[in-house]
A and B are shown apart, each in its own frame.
Chain A
Amino acid sequence: MALLSKKDTSLILDPLADNNPITIQVLGICSALAITAELKASIVMAVSVMFVLGMGNVVISLMRNIIPSKIRIIVQLVVVAALVIMVDQVLKAFAYELSKTLSVFVGLIITNCIIMGRFEAFALANGPWRSFLDGIGNAAGYGLILVVIGFFRELLGSGTLLGFKVLGDPIEKTGLYSIGYENNGFMLLSPMALIVVGLIIWVQRSRNKALIEEN
């Protein structure tokens, strides 16, 4: 028997494109925009969210029959907060510089709507294994957008990728800079993240007409 049935595979693959948490479900935008000026920060954020969402989905799904529905939001918040504290402490211990860059946005994973949204919509009604897959899939869809935005913003804004000078050295005028190319410093400012997301949505919806909204 295959490890993943057809249904399980779609749980992981759907959120990557046609049911993407950011561009279609409009969840978890806050953190997606603020930390994407560098590719490295985006990747770390994506991995952190994947950990929190995967584990959180499993925990909530295991407890789904004993949580009274009236206080479920507080229970969910406590579970997420505990997981996020773990992520935060690990980052502070092993990647202190990066945790300074991410600043409060690690903490804001708690209120990332993707997490509450998946708990409410999926983990409360499904078993642990499927919830885990759903969590991983949605976090991957979120991470994908984050990495795409981070890629373009870092490449066009500072001419580097993960800190490597892929376009040459702007001061020594090597590579592309020798023929007069300039970095677009504007890409590093926060408003451009919004516009890049807008463009991604544009590309995605013109390829898949079914997603177009009625104004």
Chain B
Amino acid sequence: MLEHVELFFKSIFIDNMVFATFLGMCSYLAVSKKVTTAVGLGAAVIFVLAVTVPLNWLLDQYILRDGALAWLGPEYADYNLSFLSFILFIATIATMVQLVEIVVEKFSPALYNSLGIFLPLIAVNCAILGGSLFMQSRDIQTLGLAFNYGLSSGIGWFLAILAIAAIREKIRYSNVPPPLRGLGITFIITGLMAIGFMSFGGMLTGGDEAPKEVEQNTAQKVEEDKIIKETKENTVSYNNAIINE
């Protein structure tokens, strides 16, 4: 249970898709002019991530990874199809998006009207493919955790686009230098927000003690090495002096 909670907060705040890994930046910048559209796209991203990440986790576990085909029989145990993961993941995502679009249109026209136009955009959103690829490279252990990861990454992305859209609506009333208007100031604000989000980094590790320790160690080591080198040189010159005498 604890690992679920940890992964949930970690993916929303610490490894936030937008601020830590810059995924889904293109749509983040293009669709963040108004809060209402930003909410629509954000909701669609949460939904699609929560569906595709567990699905791709199953694909990865039972088809792609090294020795994953063992369930077919012992003669398949040596296969490693992981080089196919890009094409399989993107195919899953494209199909799922299509499928979700059809199902939502059929059963919930109201939701379709609010999500509808964004769904096709999502197939080529880096955040979706990035979610699956990070799921693979971070070695997420169970299906439940994979679902959790997809859902919480989506929520993190949603928060980010909501925040920037709100700021952009307000910034219209401020006096930005003309060359920075629009895109430029959005980049810089996102950078500042990312710096702010970095402070969440201490939430799970308990402050920044760990990295500092490493730094101290290296600094100490360097000094020690220097001292050793100096003493060695001294002894060598001392020995030479003795020999010369």
- A-to-B contact residues, CB < 8 Å: 23, 26-31, 33-34, 73-74, 77-78, 81-82, 84-85, 88-89, 103-104, 107-108, 110-113, 116, 171, 189-195, 197-199, 201-202, 204-206, 209, 212-215
Contacts and interface: CB of A to CB of B under 8 A. Distances in A.
Contacts, number: 144
Contacts of A103: 137
Contact of A85 (B21, B87, B191): B87
Contacts of A74: 91, 94
Nearest to B125: A111
Interface of B: 19-26, 29-30, 83-87, 90-91, 94, 120, 123-126, 128-130, 133-134, 137, 171-172, 176-185, 187-188, 190-192, 194-195, 198, 222
Given A107-B86, A171-B222, A202 B94 contact: no
Contacts of B87: 78, 81-82, 85
A77 B95 CA distance: 12
A84 B90 CA distance: 12
Given A29-B22, A85-B87, A113-B124, 11 more contacts: A30-B25, A31-B22, A77-B91, A78-B87, A84-B86, A104-B130, A190-B22, A198-B185, A202-B180, A205-B179, A214-B182
A108 B87 CA distance: 11
Nearest to A33: B22
A205 B191 contact: no
Nearest to A116: B124
Pick the most buried of B20, B21, B83: most chain A CB atoms within 10 A of its CB.
Answer: B21
A191 B195 contact: yes
Contacts of B91: 74, 77-78, 81
Given A74-B94, A108-B133, A202-B179, A194 B23 contact: no
Pick the most buried of A31, A82, A84, A194: most chain B CB atoms within 10 A of its CB.
Answer: A194
Nearest to B174: A215
B29 A29 contact: yes
A171 B25 CA distance: 38
B191 A192 contact: yes
SS of B interface (majority): helix
B124 A73 contact: yes
B182 A215 contact: yes
Contacts of A33: 22, 25
B22 A30 contact: yes
Contacts of A88: 83, 86
Given A111-B126, A198-B187, A215-B181, A26 B30 contact: yes
B172 A215 contact: yes
SS of A interface (majority): helix
Contact of A198 (B178, B184, B195): B184
A103 B22 CA distance: 14
A104 B184 CA distance: 27
A198 B194 contact: no
Contacts of B94: 73-74, 77
A213 B187 contact: no
Contacts of B188: 194-195, 198-199
Contacts of A85: 83-84, 86-87
Nearest to B129: A111
A77 B120 CA distance: 13
B184 A201 contact: yes
Contacts of A190: 19-22, 194
Contact of B180 (A81, A193, A198): A198
13 contacts: A27-B26, A30-B24, A30-B26, A34-B21, A104-B134, A107-B85, A190-B194, A198-B180, A201-B179, A202-B184, A206-B179, A212-B179, A214-B182
Nearest to B218: A171
B184 A205 contact: yes
A22 to B, nearest CB: 10
A104 B85 CA distance: 11
A59 to B, nearest CB: 15
Contacts of A116: 124
Pick the most buried of B83, B87, B177: most chain A CB atoms within 10 A of its CB.
Answer: B87
